[in-house]
């Protein structure tokens, strides 16, 4: 994986940088891949549905509105994502079971942690454009995350 700093240096006009308010919770500190999106609010039913699929090296970007009232990803879902070949998960919201998430081999970024579980009503939208902070994220974009930050591009900038 190309470091995010190198991506910014070599492709500055082709990338957007997310704000730095995301902590690292997974076992991998760096990850990259094509984006799949979810727009949910305090309901992780669709998160489970997505992570049950073959991830094929994708990154699931969950637009949770930055809510800190409950977690959208916990240890079971983190392990499911790992087992099913997801490269990473970015949660604009919270995670829980942090010790379990650290035991996975994927990258997981989130705004924070909360011990409270989400509701399960099946509400939300899949593979739609979402907004994370000030950045619009669309399915098929590419995401790179490492210790320096998170960057996105409309195309794969590696190779």
Q: What is the pTM of this model?
A: 0.96
Domain count, the chain: 1
Residues spanned by the domain of 70: 4-151
Name the more confident of 122 and 68.
Answer: 68
pLDDT for residue 123: 86
Residue 125 lies in a domain: yes
C-alpha–C-alpha distance, residues 135 and 113, integer Å = 22
Residue 104 CA to residue 113 CA, distance in Å, equals: 16
Choose among 76, 84, 67, 119: nearest CA to 101: 76
Q: Is residue 16 part of a domain?
A: yes
Residue 123 located in a structural domain:
yes
| CATH code of the domain covering residue 23 | 3.50.30.40
Whether pLDDT at 103 is above 90: yes
Is 158 within a domain? no
pLDDT exceeding 70 applies to what percent of the chain?
100
Residue 159 placed within a domain? no
Say if 110 falls within a structural domain: yes
Does residue 157 fall inside a structural domain? Answer: no
Give the pLDDT confidence of 104-121 residue by residue, as tens digits: 999 999 999 999 999 888
Give 109's contacts (C-beta < 8 A, 6+ positions apart): 22, 23, 24, 25, 26, 88, 89, 90, 91, 145, 150
C-alpha dist (Å) from residue 112 to 1, 70, 121, 138, 147: 25, 10, 23, 23, 16
Mean pLDDT of 78-107: 98
Q: Note the pLDDT tens digit of each residue in 6-49.
A: 999 999 899 999 987 899 999 999 999 999 999 999 999 999 99
> What is the DSSP code string of 35-98?
EEEEE-SSB-HHHHHHHTS--TT-EEEEE-TT--SSEEE-HHHHHHHHHTT--EEEEEEEE--H
Note whether residue 37 is domain-resident. yes
């Amino acid at each position: 994986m190309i470091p995010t700093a190198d991506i910014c240096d070599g492709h500055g006009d082709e990338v957007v940088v997310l704000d730095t308010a995301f902590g690292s919770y997974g076992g991998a500190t760096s990850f990259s891949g094509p984006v799949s999106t979810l727009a949910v609010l305090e309901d992780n039913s669709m998160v489970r549905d997505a992570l049950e699929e073959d991830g094929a090296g994708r990154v699931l970007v969950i637009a949770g509105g930055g809510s800190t009232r409950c977690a959208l990803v916990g240890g079971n879902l983190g392990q499911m994502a790992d087992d099913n070949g997801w490269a990473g998960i970015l949660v604009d919201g919270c995670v829980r079971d942090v010790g379990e998430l650290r035991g996975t081999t994927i990258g997981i970024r989130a705004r924070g942690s909360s011990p409270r579980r989400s509701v399960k009503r099946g509400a939300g939208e899949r593979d739609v454009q979402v907004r994370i902070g000030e950045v619009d994220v669309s399915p098929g974009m590419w995401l790179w995350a490492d210790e320096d930050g998170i960057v996105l591009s409309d195309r794969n900038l590696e190779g």
